[in-house]
Amino acid sequence: MHFSSKYFRAYLVLFTVSLLAASDLMAQDSTAPAATVVKKKSYTRNTFEGNYIIDNQSVMVPIKGTFEFDINHRFGIMSNNFTDLFGLFALANMRLGFDYTPIKDLQIGFGAGNYNMLVDWNAKYALLKQTRNNSMPVSVTLYGDVAMDTRAKNSSIPIVNTSDRFSYFSQILIARKFTEALSLQAGIALTHFNNIPGFLNANNDIVQELKNDNLTASFSGRYKISPKTSIIFSVDQPLTQNPMNNPHPNISFGLDMRSSGHDFQVFVGNYGYTLPEFNTVYNQNDFTKGQFLIGFNISRLWNF
């Protein structure tokens, strides 16, 4: 086919203009600033195996959509030896708990126990979380609990008003995972009872045996001895000086055994109640007299 010089010149001009436009566009793209890359925070995982470190909460909050069922059990003190088979035949304190994580970093729960027919409501919020690059070196969690004595009112129970049935516990927890094996946690707690024991003195004045507000410091930890087994410990020290019947400190230690969806703890300690407000104010088990007891916690988790 014959191709005229006129058409060839027009085609050449069009081709040249196209090349110039393309090269200009490429030059503009090469000088455009690079898009900012936002690095996602990487948090330290599994500081502890579950919600509990014996009688204390841990900084851990399950992932969103987790439902948890807990069984907390405390036998009697072991100092009676074979009389009650080291407390196994003694009166035990038990609690069943139900917890759910509706949104990220927040867990809410409900429980009921046999001691004083107590029911409780609790909430836990992960305020800060330790990062892998140590930009945040610790995890910080807030925990709160409200308990209600549901026993029927009678002359032997010091309940006059509905408010007398309530007690409160609030705690701030700070923890750090130092290695894959070692994690440590410290906490400070405030316990408040609306109604506390008292008596009438010779002048018919009401004398309180305890203060309504009590502070307690705690120190807990775990050391992994295998991928699914850890040694755990907890120490709780009352800080408030009461008029009488000061609560005794708690020293406890045991084993934590983890499997998929289950967490089982068995331990020996001084605390005999299943709720923190009663342990921190009413504990009269003295470790210097060997008044220890056996307890266990069982947790089962489901993710929805």
As a whole number of angstroms, the distance between CA 282 and CA 181 comes to 34
Would you state the pLDDT for residue 37? 59
Do 116 and 143 touch, CB atoms closer than 8 A? no
Read off the pLDDT of residues 29-76 as tens digits, 9 standing for 90 and up. 444 455 555 567 899 999 999 999 999 999 999 999 999 999 999 999
Tell the residue number behind the tokens 């074979």, with chain if given: 82
Q: Which amino acid is at 197?
A: P
As a whole number of angstroms, the distance between CA 154 and CA 168 comes to 23
3-class SS of residue 226: strand
Percentage of residues in the chain with pLDDT exceeding 70?
Answer: 87
Read off the pLDDT of residues 204-222 as tens digits, 9 standing for 90 and up. 777 889 999 999 999 999 9
DSSP character at residue 116? G
Read off the pLDDT of residues 106-122 as tens digits, 9 standing for 90 and up. 999 999 999 999 999 99
Residue 278 pLDDT more than 90? yes
Residue 275 pLDDT more than 60? yes
Superfamily name with CATH number, domain 52-303: monomeric porin ompg (2.40.160.40)
What pTM does this model have? 0.83
Q: Which two tokens stand for residue 158?
A: 């010091």
Which of 173, 170, 199 lies closest to 184 in space, CA to CA?
173
As a whole number of angstroms, the distance between CA 261 and CA 62 comes to 11
Residue 96: phi and psi, rounded to 5, are: -110, 130
Is residue 81 packed enough to be buried (19+ CB in 10 Å), middle (13-18) or exposed (0-12)? exposed
